[in-house]
């Protein structure tokens, strides 16, 4: 666990919600932030795993202000329940880290009827952020912006938003479906940042690296066979979480919004991600999908 004293002073006593925090990047981000004195709330789907992760973080950091909430973020009811549970228990939100996600090896449909990559990876981010946005706006100040951090992926660079087949009903290709959802994360971030101008809230997104987590074990038969070899060349979850942590705590990005990061540095995302007409079309479709 890496802790910088200056960063610790910046986030001590702040409140942070991290989704997908029972393992991998989310867990490492929660661990580091807790070590800096942040009040951290882990959101996970499995209560046993999320509870164990929470206790482990408390044990390693000595920070008793670490707790958890349980929710299935693949459907709108689960997202709304998480937001309600958070709002019932906490009076502010300084840092929202949208991290929960997955890639399915075959076409699956969420409880809402959406293709799973679309529902979990994109609509989850979109709806949870909207449900908590008023609290984020109320929590940010002129001296300390509230921060929204969306974990995306470089997989977006070869993807498109297929507006004629968003749910992959005509054709399902796992890397396209996943890449499309990650491109949607970035386009959502850019459109959100524009809407947040004039408020004390920033929104940024990032590529964490190709990280050695359980994600690799769940993406298909060929990848499963090669998983032990593939993992030799992957980034550790600890290293993969560093850009997320940087965006959460660094004074360098205090007033930066609407930017894509990799290795804790601003990077150029795909040309399509900057298409404002496509961003707005995606925004309106997403609103319709989650009924807001």
Structural domain contains residue 81: yes
Q: How many domains does the chain have?
A: 1
Distance (Å, rounded) from C-alpha 177 to C-alpha 103? 8
Could you tell me the CATH number of the domain that includes residue 274? 3.40.50.720
Residue 140 included in any domain: yes
Q: What percent of the chain has pLDDT over 90?
A: 84
User: Angle at CA 119, nearest 5°, toward 33 and 160?
Assistant: 100
Confidence of residue 217 (pLDDT cuts 50, 70, 90): very low
CA–CA gap between residue 241 and residue 34 (Å, rounded): 14
CA distances for 223 relative to 164, 209, 215, 240, angstroms? 29, 17, 10, 20
pLDDT score recorded for residue 259: 98
What's residue 213's pLDDT? 52
Angle at 96 (CA atoms; ends 90, 102), nearest 5 degrees: 120
Within a domain: residue 234?
no
Q: pLDDT band at residue 280, thresholds of 50, 70 and 90? A: very high
Catalytic residue list: 178
The 10 Å Cβ neighbour count of residue 265 is: 9
**Which pLDDT tens digit goes with each residue over 193-214?**
999 999 999 999 999 976 445 5
Structural domain boundaries enclosing 116: 5-211+240-290
From CA 16, how far away is CA 92, in angstroms rounded? Answer: 9
Let me know if residue 235 belongs to a domain. no
**Nearest-CA neighbor of 13 among 88, 97, 94?**
94
φ, ψ dihedrals at 111, nearest 5°: -60, -25
Decide if 70 is inside a domain: yes
* C-alpha atoms less than 13 angstroms from C-alpha of 103 in its C-beta half-sphere: 24
**Is the distance from CB of 95 to CB of 17 less than 8 angstroms?**
yes
DSSP 122: I
Q: Please provide residue 8's backbone torsions phi and psi, each rounded to the nearest 5 degrees.
A: -60, -40
Judge contact between 54 and 47, C-beta under 8 A: no
Q: What are phi and psi of 42, to 5 degrees?
A: -90, 135
Q: Residue 121 domain-assigned?
A: yes
Cα distance between residue 112 and residue 119, in whole Å: 8
Q: What are the Cα distances from residue 62, in Å, to 31, 35, 49, 56?
A: 11, 8, 19, 10
pLDDT (0 to 100) of residue 225: 46
Diameter over CA atoms, the chain: 52
Evaluate whether 113 touches 290 at the Cβ level (below 8 Å): no
For residue 95, which of 22, 14, 151, 199 has the smallest C-alpha distance?
A: 14
Lowest-pLDDT choice from 46-55, 103-112, 228-237:
228-237
Answer yes or no: is 225 within a domain: no
56 lies in a domain? yes
pLDDT in tens, 71-117: 999 999 999 999 999 999 999 999 999 999 999 999 999 999 999 99
């Amino acid at each position: 666990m890496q802790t910088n004293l200056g960063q610790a002073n910046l986030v001590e006593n702040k409140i942070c919600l991290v989704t997908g925090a029972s393992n991998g990047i989310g867990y490492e981000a929660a661990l580091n932030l807790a070590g800096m004195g942040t009040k951290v709330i882990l959101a996970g789907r499995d209560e046993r795993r999320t509870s164990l992760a929470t206790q482990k973080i408390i044990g390693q950091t000595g920070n008793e202000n670490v707790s958890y909430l349980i929710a299935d973020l693949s459907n709108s009811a689960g997202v709304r329940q998480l937001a309600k549970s958070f709002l019932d228990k906490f009076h502010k939100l300084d840092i929202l880290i949208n991290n929960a996600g997955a890639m399915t090896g075959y076409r699956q449909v969420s409880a809402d009827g959406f293709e799973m990559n679309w529902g979990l990876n994109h609509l989850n981010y979109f709806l949870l952020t909207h449900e908590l946005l008023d609290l984020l706006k109320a929590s940010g100040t002129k001296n300390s912006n509230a921060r929204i951090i969306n974990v995306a992926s470089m997989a977006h660079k070869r993807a498109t938003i297929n507006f004629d087949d968003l749910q992959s009903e005509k054709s399902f290709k796992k890397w396209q479906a996943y890449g499309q959802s990650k491109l949607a994360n970035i386009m959502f971030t850019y459109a959100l940042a524009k809407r947040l101008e004039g408020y004390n809230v920033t929104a940024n997104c990032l590529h964490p690296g190709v990280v050695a987590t359980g994600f690799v074990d769940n993406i298909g038969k060929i990848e499963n066979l090669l998983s032990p070899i593939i993992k030799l060349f992957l980034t550790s979850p600890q290293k993969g979480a560093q850009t997320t942590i940087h965006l959460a705590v660094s004074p360098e990005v205090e007033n930066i919004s609407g930017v894509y990061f990799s290795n804790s540095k601003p990077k150029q995302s795909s040309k399509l991600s900057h298409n404002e007409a496509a961003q707005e079309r995606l925004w309106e479709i997403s609103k319709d999908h989650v009924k807001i």
